[in-house]
Structure 1
Amino acid sequence: MNKTTTRNKYLMFFAIGIISFYLSGYLLRGIHPPQSVFLMLLVYWILFGIGILVCKERSRGFVVKAFAVSFAALFLISAGFFALGAYNHYDSKYIDAERLQTVPDEFAVVTEEELNEYPALKETITSQSIVKVRPDEWRRTIDYLTEKGSHTVKFGDMYYAIGFMTA
């Protein structure tokens, strides 16, 4: 067997590792760990077995190398995907403003000029929605309201309870 044929077979097994991840991701919608990991490994073993049957090479050395190549691809793409998810989860910060119907006992008065310095706070107050913000802006806004003495603010004639969330 020549080197080109062997290289193509290993490329096929590398692709099997990648396809296993994406195919199991398609099949796993709504399934949570640990069942999702078991199903991903089941999809991998099925595709690996099909790959061994298609390439018609049954030597122990080839099967071990093909397994190492395909499983390494599956592992690396899974680890990368989950690391990216953890990073995005850590980086997710939100600010919410809920308009209050009654006058609270404690509140801080916020002016238009002060809101211009805190664009995320201004956006959440004016839009009455949850706003995703950068972590530094989120921390800066928390520090500002803590310094003012309350996370309940008065802007104009309305009162707002400001909430800070992480994902």
Structure 2
Amino acid sequence: MRNRLFVGFATAGLILVSGVGTATQASAATPTGSSGAAVPTAVGKTANAAVQPAIVSGCSASYFCFWNNANYNDGPGKVSGNNLNWGYFQHITCPNGSWGGCASSLDNAGTSGMGVYVFSGADWGGYDACIADNATYSNLAGWNYGASGVNMNDTIWSNKWTWDC
């Protein structure tokens, strides 16, 4: 079993913990990958950290997994490569019958150390965010595409693996 560290970044700042356990507020711009892709930002929250002890149930090592509902319910859909249009992947319980615009939970269980760009449009278009290796998001309703203000819930249409997270 592997441990997962999940760190959410808020657009307003980043909380740092000192060696004696007190927290101080530090100013930070919206974090981006080295290519400039936005990292998901929390909606109306300060930064937080939580430990995810293992790959989310139903997902497998080396895959990027996603679920129709929050808290890893109704799925998962799994991809291991780059995909231009999740609309080609059928999922009967999604409103449009496919995974396109349907993901509400994510788990990057890849084993290469790579992150995954997710895009709000097909063909790697629209807004994007980079999901770091071993990151999990139990409810995308609480996350935006970087500083765009556009919520990630039920808006992902394509993905691409990257070293830039």
TM norm structure 1: 0.19
**Comparing both structures, which one devotes a greater share of its residues to helix?**
1
**Comparing both structures, which one devotes a greater share of its residues to strand?**
2
TM norm structure 2: 0.19
